[in-house]
A and B are shown apart, each in its own frame.
Chain A
């Protein structure tokens, strides 16, 4: 058994100060710059013990922090069971990161979903189109600056409402 912390440490050893490891609640996260994400994932893919399974691929919008987007890869080794999260800080406008469809076929739809919801481009993806939203939709719904409102309808005298916010947002506690 290698362990997720040791696997992450191997990548840090190769990458130097570009990469770092964060541990929270017994979960290990490897943080790398977006430009090196594919290299890091390929290293983990080729590490001894067989390739991991790409359990999840998603993104986080840290707006208004810059750079605001992070692409998150969740890797799972089935035997022995281990999990490692790789978080890539994506820069650029539009934010762009290399596709991992070459390593995992299952990344195809997951990357299309991230493109659809966050507008992050994946270079090398075979067919980067919208997947959940309609093809003619404008904007990327899961971005923090995309408001949560009702869809406009063509009825006279109806203005789209924002869903009720019974409990207002409170800032983080010190």
Chain B
């Protein structure tokens, strides 16, 4: 009897493919419908942000983080300013810290809504995508009210914020937070009780806790696999240790569990926002240190010293002491960290952006091994990558 010959075929998926959520190319080795090997090819969105940031002052660099990862904009800005503040040894006033928490959590909800909607549309649940984007738009309206921009805010400052939270902000956020639980419950019912959704996500794209740790996965990827690591709890920043919230964890490590973790995280973000609004402190929104923050406008007409400080900050910028720091935040896509090296001049000697998406995407071949091509779409959606964040 002749031996049965099997041939594998190489299939190129992407870079122009709607389910890759950006520009990602996957080289799949297939035997029939079964995946034997997968090689992600990245770099299509590489824009050299790290190099650009070495050529600008610390203050000018504030605009970059939100452009690297454009779904959770305030989380990104917080990560960068925290790193510079750590380098300088500056602590922002309580009001700025609480405002950063509120804005970050609003960004997190907005980002998780996109993750939820886009993973639903990949499995042809089109209506949910539209509901999610409608809610996200309400959040972006609030962020625009605060900063003047829907997405690329450039609103946070080293040592605080550009200006105070606007009038009517609290009422508007509270109104949204009152509506939100019913909306999230509706999405929960729409997907969790949906037989097709469950069959397509349960037991699909499984990542074991061991693999998640070996690959350095963070965020919902890690917590969906049973490891309760959240930067907000482990290394608290911006006063997160004062708020009462839970870190949702699931144990199966499949696409369904990651979806449930994100859903629960939105509810927890709402809890944090309401607590932060309840005890939003008054007072200044930026540090009163003339070597770090610009002097108030009114002072410029009266004080020569203020004019000199203004001139020095605008024409040269900050001079942090030589050294290196790493500041991390919990972004919707895992640990987002900025590693800054200062040589004492007015520009960073090295800016390293540690992105959650990069490490999470690296585990994709493990997740889809011996799965089918159709499951690749589910796997990519459940990682919730931002390709701009992967390629930087």
Chain B 87-129 interface 0/1 with A at a Cβ cutoff of 8 Å (1 = within): 1010000000000000000000000000000000000000000
> Which of chain B's residues 188-214 have a Cβ closer than 8 Å to chain A?
211, 213-214
Considering only residues 12-59 of chain B, those with a C-beta below 8 Å from chain A are 42-43, 46, 48, 50-52, 54-57
Stretch of B140-148, B153-161, B342-350 lying at the A interface: B342-350
The answer to whether A133 touches B362 (Cβ under 8 A) is no
Interface residue? B229 (CB, 8 A):
yes
Q: Indicate whether A81 reaches chain B with its CB closer than 8 angstroms.
A: yes
A169 to B54, CA, bound (A): 10
The yes or no answer to A163 lying at the interface (CB within 8 A) is yes
| Contacting residue for A55 out of B60, B89, B335, CB 8 A | B335
Q: Are A170 and B326 in contact (CB under 8 A)?
A: no
A97-111 vs B, CB cutoff 8 Å, 1 = contact: the mask equals 000000011101110
CB nearest to A62 among chain B residues: B349
**A141 at the A/B interface (Cβ < 8 Å)?**
yes
**Contact residues, A91-148 vs B (CB, 8 A):** 104-106, 108-110, 117, 130-134, 141-142, 148
Chain B residues numbered 334-386 whose CB sits less than 8 Å from any CB in chain A: 335, 337, 339, 341, 343-347, 349-350, 352, 354, 358-359, 362-363
Q: Which of A5-13, A22-30, A36-44, A153-161 contacts B (4 or more CB under 8 A)?
A: A22-30
Given A25-B87, A163-B52, decide whether A170 and B216 contact each other with a Cβ distance below 8 A.
Answer: no
Complex CA gap A54/B213 in Å reads 9
Chain A contacts for B56, CB-based, 8 A? 167
Chain B residues whose CB sits within 8 angstroms of the CB of A134 once the complex forms: 43
Complex: chain B residue closest to A165, CB-CB: B55
Shortest Cβ distance from residue A125 to the other chain B in the assembled complex, whole angstroms: 14
Roughly how many angstroms separate A109 CA and B362 CA in the complex, as a whole number?
A: 7
**Interface residue? B235 (CB, 8 A):** yes
Expressed in whole angstroms, the Cα–Cα distance for A72 and B317 within the complex equals: 27
Contact A106 B324 (CB under 8 A): no
Give the chain B neighbours of A104 by CB distance below 8 A. Answer: 214-216
A56-B352, A106-B215, A169-B347 known; A133 vs B325 contact (CB < 8 Å): no
A171 proximal to B (CB < 8 A): yes
Q: A29-B324, A163-B55, A167-B60 are in contact. Are A172 and B345 (CB under 8 A)?
A: yes
Q: Does B319 count as interface, using CB distance less than 8 angstroms?
A: yes
A141, B54: Cα distance in complex, Å: 12
Most-contacted residue by chain A among B51, B322, B391 (CB, 10 A):
B51
Residues of A within 8 A of B346 (CB): 167, 169-170
A-B complex: 9 closest residue pairs judged by Cβ atoms: A172-B344, A81-B234, A106-B216, A132-B43, A106-B215, A132-B46, A24-B323, A105-B214, A56-B354
Q: Which residue numbers of B lie inside 8 Å of A, CB to CB? A: 42-43, 46, 48, 50-52, 54-57, 60, 86-87, 89, 211, 213-217, 227, 229, 234-235, 315-317, 319, 322-326, 328, 335, 337, 339, 341, 343-347, 349-350, 352, 354, 358-359, 362-363, 391-392
